[in-house]
Structure 1
């Protein structure tokens, strides 16, 4: 399994769309957390985007998951940056092995 840091950049003027789809987005995230695929996530304080940490087989699986996000389906995400990440110290370090 591989850990990925995913950075969302929200589309300009998407706050209403995000408000409308937030319950479905959070339910989707909660399901992934329950399955162990999502380690943690949360929005940036300035509202410009979010950081999500996933543990999945590979980048192909990650990209398929991200397409299912209700925010993505609704067009609320302008950009996504994914980076393979290896936490070595702290709470998430145990999830990297």
Structure 2
């Protein structure tokens, strides 16, 4: 299955909104990880965003998955970039 790198950009103005919704966002991430849809996720240490690697049939399906993130539904993400990603080495198989 194709993999996609998803980059979230966070603005400082929405930090309180993210803090408020982080528990449900993290639960969604865990559920999606356990389902095999999200392969890895983590925020930038400076708080400016996050990177996720997701498995999806195509870019449209990856975007639909990201639209389910509670952060997306409350407008806590300033920008989302989705790019097909090809692994050369690593734990995610072919």
TM-score normalized with structure 2 length: 0.94
Contact 2:59 2:83 in 1 (8 A): no
The answer for the alignment partner of 1:53 in structure 2 is: 53
The answer for the alignment partner of 2:29 in structure 1 is: 29
Unaligned runs of 5+ in 2: none
The answer for the alignment partner of 1:43 in structure 2 is: 43
Query: Residue by residue, what CA displacement relative to the aligned partner does 1:70-92 show, whole Å, maximum 9, x if unpaired?
Result: 11111111101111011111223
The answer for the alignment partner of 1:6 in structure 2 is: 6
TM-score normalized with structure 1 length: 0.91
- Superposition RMSD in Å: 1.0
Unaligned runs of 5+ in 1: none
Q: Secondary structure at the match of 1:14?
A: helix
The aligned length equals 94
For residues 82 and 60 of structure 2, the distance between their equivalents in structure 1, rounded to whole angstroms, comes to 11
